[in-house]
Amino acid sequence: MNHEQSAITSHAAGINRALTVGASSVSRSHVVDAPIVLRGMTATSHRFHVPLVHSDASSPSIEIFAREINSLEDTDGYDIDGEVSQGDDNQAEDNRATYQAEDNRTTDQASTTRTKPWLLYLQGGPGFGAPRLSSLSGWLKEATRTFRVLLLDQRGTGLSTPINHQVLAGMAPDEQADYLTHFRADSIVRDAELIRSTLGLKSWSIFGQSFGGFCALSYLSTFPESLDRAIITGGLAPLHGSADRVYRATYARMRARNVEYFAKYPADREILNQVLECVRRGDQIFSDGRNVSVGAVQMLGMFLGGNTRIDQLHFHLEGALLTTAEGTQLSDSFKETLRQQASFASAPLYAVMHESIYAQGEATQWAANRVLAENPDFDPFSPEPLLTGEMIFPWHFTEDPALRPLKEAAERIANKADWPQLYDVERLKTNQVPVAAAVYSHDVYVDRDLSLETAQSVQGLRGWETSKFHHDGISDDGAAIFARLLGMTRVD
């Protein structure tokens, strides 16, 4: 065993020793806690052990956490292969009515839950755990009418063996980079397959939002026989090509979104210019002692990624500036907003691995930063730089204290050229699994044109393009979106 393997094995062994035993069911690789009752639902924690490297029989294991959600309402679900009308955006309620099977309710609600099929939810990211919800609402409430829903903390996120600089502290940069290569969609899918098998399921349905949709496409490429259906929202990944084409599209979409925002709030352009003037003086300091940078200000563009947040940017800019005896300053509350927006302390995996989700057989080499040269209106040194979007730059690993210890590993990840393929394009061309996907016309994170290109490559995929929602559609009206897409996966 070489030094690199030894470090990884030692790390995983420490995680294994920390495994705790749940209250109701225990096996060597699966621990189930007693369910807890929340508003409208029960939540049951599951912990699984899976190999770090699925292709290595001697690989150390890591822990994967998932939370099973079941509705407390007296519902039997739907006949999920029943007829569903395909009307306009306002017909979700009608869809649900026509979708419901004849009433055969039982007084034994637990028995009803056990007969429901399973739905695996794949969270967006990469690097974010599944949602932590204290009540049943939105898309999840709609989904639990039909399914037992399993919210997966993808490897490296949430309560699954986490990725952060503390966990990786004992590894050299080469070892860190090697370890991180096992946290892409292909490994996440294999984790899911082991979980499905451990639960004793012949097959299940999957729902992927954003990066979760990328994982769903990888799942369809690899284990289609394990899937009853796949639902994807804002997550049709490009199946081929370099990361450069993704970021060219992202800059173009963000430019249009900037224009749209400042047309709605024209006074905010001048406020933003004053903010940049303050920052360029070099005397604006975050609460942690760091200087506020122009790049950090530009990251406010993340608020432009959806309908549910765009107006929040306006409210933040309203309170951005203070007039003091020393001149115009940034308010402490606004600086805290900037600090939080520019920090990846809660999701370092996102920053380190973001470009790698597009990598297949070639290095990304900081694609967003390279393509920036083609888009001077986003250059932080331009007089009035536009707000950026879902882009990671080398400076993040210099400015962000949570990322500095991972800087060298991030360089190695950016220059790694031998990434395996994430999708089997030929297999997708002959796909037999029902797939329904929402494509958002003005999505600034997952480009509409690239999404439609992918949709054409997946046999049988039923797409629904809409301009009513942005990337955060399932936060905006998740119940209606989920009901519509579930209906589109019906068996004719």
Segment (H or E) for 209: strand 204-209
Q: For 78, list phi and psi in degrees, rounded to 5.
A: -115, 165
Identify the helix (H) or strand (E) that includes residue 188: helix 185-198
For the chain, the distance separating the N- and C-terminal CA atoms, rounded to the nearest angstrom, is 54
Exactly one of 49, 316, 396, 471 is catalytic; name it: 471
The secondary structure of residue 356, as a DSSP letter, is G
- Which residues lie closer than 8 Å to 267 by C-beta, 6 or more apart? none
Under 8 Å between Cβ of 158 and 63: no
Please say whether the beta carbons of 413 and 363 come within 8 A. no
Name the catalytic one among 210, 221, 226, 451: 210
| CA–CA separation, 41 and 184 (whole Å) | 31
Among this protein's residues, is 29 annotated catalytic?
A: no
CA distances from 229 to 143, 220, 396, 489 (A): 13, 9, 38, 7
Using DSSP's 3-state secondary structure scheme, residue 343 falls into: coil
- Strand 321-324 versus strand 435-440 pairing type: unpaired
Active site residue 210: yes
Report the alpha-carbon angle 122-127-133, nearest 5. 55
Q: SS3 sequence, 29-95?
A: CEEECCCEEEECEEEEEEEEEEECCCCCCCCCEEEEEEEEEEECCCCCCCCCCCCCCCCCHHHHHHH
**Contact 208/195 with Cβ under 8 angstroms?**
no
Contact between 155 and 187 under an 8 Å Cβ cutoff? The reply is yes
Tell me how crowded residue 471 is: count the other CB atoms within 10 A of its CB: 27
Candidate list 103, 108, 288, 418, residue with the active-site label? 418
Q: Which two tokens stand for residue 48?
A: 């699984």
**Catalytic center residues:** 210, 418, 471
